[in-house]
Amino acid sequence: MSPQAVSHATAAQLRTRWQALAPRERRLVRAASAAIALALLWWVGIAPALQTQRTAPARHAELDAELQRMQALQAEAQQLQGTPRADPDNARRALESAVTEHLGGSARLSLSGDQATVTLKGTPADALAPWLAQVRSNAHAVPQEVHLVRSGAAAAEGRRTTALSDLPAAAPAPLWDGTLVLALPPR
**Which among 40, 134, 60 has a CA at the least distance from the CA of 93?**
134
CATH architecture observed for domain 88-183: 2-Layer Sandwich (3.30)
Q: Angle at CA 69, nearest 5°, toward 68 and 71?
A: 65
Give the span between the Cα atoms of 70 and 25, in whole angstroms.
63
Share of the chain above pLDDT 70, in %: 88
pLDDT score of 92: 87
Chain segment 53-80, per-residue pLDDT in tens: 999 999 999 999 999 999 999 999 998 7
Contacts of 157 (CB under 8 A, 6+ apart): none
pLDDT score of 186: 80
Reported pTM? 0.49
Mean pLDDT per segment of 10 residues, for the chain of length 187 residues?
A: 83 90 92 95 93 94 97 91 77 87 87 90 88 85 90 51 44 83 85
DSSP H helices in 83-183: 88-98, 125-138, 152-160
Which of the 8 DSSP states describes residue 166? G
Do residues 114 and 141 touch, judged by C-beta distance below 8 A? no
Segments making up each domain of the chain, as ranges: 7-80, 88-183
pLDDT score of 169: 52
pLDDT score of 51: 93
pLDDT score of 153: 53
Do residues 131 and 98 touch, judged by C-beta distance below 8 A? yes
Go through 135-153 and write b for each residue having 16 or more CB atoms within 10 A of its CB, e for each that does not.
beebbbbeeeeeeeeebee
Say how far residue 103 (Cα) sits from the centre of its chain: 33
Give the span between the Cα atoms of 178 and 141, in whole angstroms.
18
